[in-house]
Amino acid sequence: MPKKRPAGSIRPRAFCNRIYWRALGAGAARTGAAEASRIRAAPAPEDDCMVKAYFRPKTAGEALELLSNEDGAVLLAGGTWLLTSQFAWCPMTAIAITDLLPKGIERHGDRIIIGAGATFQAIADSALLPAALREAALSMADRNIRNRATIGGNIGADKSCSSLLPFLLVAEARYSRAQAPALTAAEWQTASPAEKGLIAGIEFELPASRRFAVGRYSRTSCDVAVLTCAVSAELSDGSGASHGRPALRGLRIAMGGLSPHARRFPELESLFEGRPLADKAVIEAAAAPLFAPVDDVRGSAAFKRLRAAALLADVLFSLEASL
């Protein structure tokens, strides 16, 4: 029998590959027993051996209780990551929450609320959402996956190549959680697995004064992202402009592919805050030394450093054009 793994940790099969695996942040706290119908049976057929038990709780509370009590418990929404063969050798107890998660997308003035169960395709299709977020959703180019993958699941996976996290980070989104206070995206990332809980919704402000831009590099359209970038800044009031170029104020930069998780880069923000953009070459020369990517099958560290700097420069220029 496979060894019991630490709560909340999922390790994909290791044969022959250096695969990026991430602790599933969505829960490891253990409390009492659950009442939801419990399904256990003999080992599943060949391709499908990872889920050993399945629950479909009727309430969020029930889901959280199961998450706490069951060995190898994971919250299962779209399943486009957890159910892939990367995890074929890792026994899990699936707590299916698709029915529980809000899926709607709402806009109330400047406030955007997205249900954690909203799919990537729903986000891409929603006219209520900013173009940058829709573009980020569409950057997951495989429509079959977009039809199923959820924003909540993408947050929960917390992968470096996440399509949506960079945007959410620069939007300073807040995650409402079941039976727990909301956390900002950054707070949620740094929370322990036991503290992460069940995300119910994602909220952020979209004031008219703020602009966003996103970018991505991958080898082919349907490849996981090698690098992602999202930037945001305040609409220019003209102060600090130079040679017709606006100064960037309230600048926020988040990138993925350069660290174990997508993150904000305050060190980059301080480089460009309050100033007009220089030429792309200057931006790249300034940014590249701040990146520390790793070699992998998608590129060498040296290439990724150069490419990340170019991506950042391109996205900053896109942002500038909208200011």
Partner 1 sequence: MTTTFTLNGRPVALACEPGESLKTLLRRAGIVSLRNGCDGEGSCGLCALLLDGKLVNSCLILALEADGREVVTIDYYNKDATLRTIQRALIDTSCVQCGYCTPAVALSVRELLARSPEPSDAEVADALSGTLCRCTGYKQYFEAVRLAARRLSEPGYAPPLGPEFRPDLRHVGKDREKVDAETLSRGERAFVEDRVTGDACVLKVLGSPYAHAWIASIDTAEAEAMPGVVAVLTHKNTPERVYTTAGQGFPEPSPYDQRMFPRKMRHVGDRVAAVLAETPEIAAAALAAIKVTYEVLPPVLSIAQAKANEAPVIHSGEVSYVAGSPPVGTDTRGDGRDDPVVYQFPLHSDPHRNLAASASGGIGDMEAGFAAADIVIERSYKTNRVQCTPMEPHVVFAKIEAGRLVLHASTQVPWHVRRIVARAVGISENKVRVIKERVGGGFGAKQDIVVEDIAGYLAWTTRRPVYFRYTREEEFIASRTRHTMEIKVKLGARHDGKLTAILMNLDADTGPYGQHCLTVPMNAISKSLPLLLCDNARFEVKSYYTNLSPAGAYQGYGAPKGSFALQTALAEMACALGMDQLDFLEKNRVRSGSRIDILKSLGEGREGAAVTLGKCGLGDMMARGRQAFGWDQPKPPAPGSDWKIGCGAVIIQQGSGLPGLDAANAEVRLLSDGTLLMLSGGADLGTGLDTVTAKAAAENLGLDLTDVTVISGDTDITPFDKGAYASSGTYFSGNAALKAAEDLRRRVFEAAAPILGEAPEDLHIEYKGMVVGKKGKISLAELGHRSVQGEGHGELSGFGSFKTDHSAFPYGAHFVQVAVNERTGEVKVQRYHAYQDCGTPINPALATGQVYGAILKAIGHSLYEEMLYDGEGRCLNPRFLDYKIPTIAEVPPDFRVELMPVEDEIGPFGAKSVSEISVNGAAPAISIAIHDAVGAWVREWPFSPERVLHALGRL
141 near partner 1, judged by CB under 8 A: yes
148 near partner 1, judged by CB under 8 A: yes
Q: How far is the CB of 198 from partner 1 (least distance, A)?
A: 18
CB-CB neighbours of 29 under 10 Å: 18
Of residues 32, 109, 220, 244, which one binds partner 1 by CB under 8 A? 220
Quick one: which segment of 145-153, 163-171, 175-183, 229-237 binds partner 1 (CB under 8 A)?
A: 145-153
291 near partner 1, judged by CB under 8 A: no
Q: Helices then strands (H, E): number in the chain?
A: 11, 13
Of residues 3, 4, 32, 41, which one binds partner 1 by CB under 8 A? 41
Q: Note the Cα 20 to chain centre separation in Å.
A: 14
190 near partner 1, judged by CB under 8 A: no
Nearer to partner 1, 196 or 307 (CB): 307
Residues 304 to 323 in contact with partner 1, rule: CB under 8 A: 306-307, 310
16 near partner 1, judged by CB under 8 A: yes
Task: Please count the residues of this chain forming the interface with partner 1, following the rule CB under 8 A.
Answer: 59
CB 183 within 8 A of CB 206: no
21 near partner 1, judged by CB under 8 A: no
Residues 150 to 189 in contact with partner 1, rule: CB under 8 A: none
Residues 260 to 279 in contact with partner 1, rule: CB under 8 A: none
Nearer to partner 1, 209 or 218 (CB): 218
| Sign of the CA dihedral with 207 first, then 208, 210, and 213 last | positive
Q: How far is the CB of 293 from partner 1 (least distance, A)?
A: 12
d(CA 137, CA 149): 10
Quick one: which segment of 170-178, 188-196, 207-215, 218-226 binds partner 1 (CB under 8 A)?
A: 218-226
Write out the DSSP string of 88-145: TTS-EEEEE-TTTS---EEEETTEEEEETT-BHHHHHH-TTS-HHHHHHHHTS--HHH
Exposure on the CB side of residue 27, measured as CA atoms within 13 A: 31
Nearer to partner 1, 52 or 261 (CB): 52
DSSP 322: H
d(CA 136, CA 149): 13
DSSP 10: -
Q: Tell me the residue ranges of DSSP E strands in 170-248.
A: 174-177, 180-184, 199-205, 210-217, 227-234
301 near partner 1, judged by CB under 8 A: no
Q: How far is the CB of 285 from partner 1 (least distance, A)?
A: 12
49 near partner 1, judged by CB under 8 A: yes
Q: What are phi and psi of 122, to 5 degrees?
A: -65, -40
Contact residues toward partner 1 (CB under 8 A) are 15-18, 39-54, 56, 76, 78-80, 83-86, 88, 94, 96, 98, 121, 141-145, 147-148, 217, 219-224, 280, 284, 297-300, 302-303, 306-307, 310
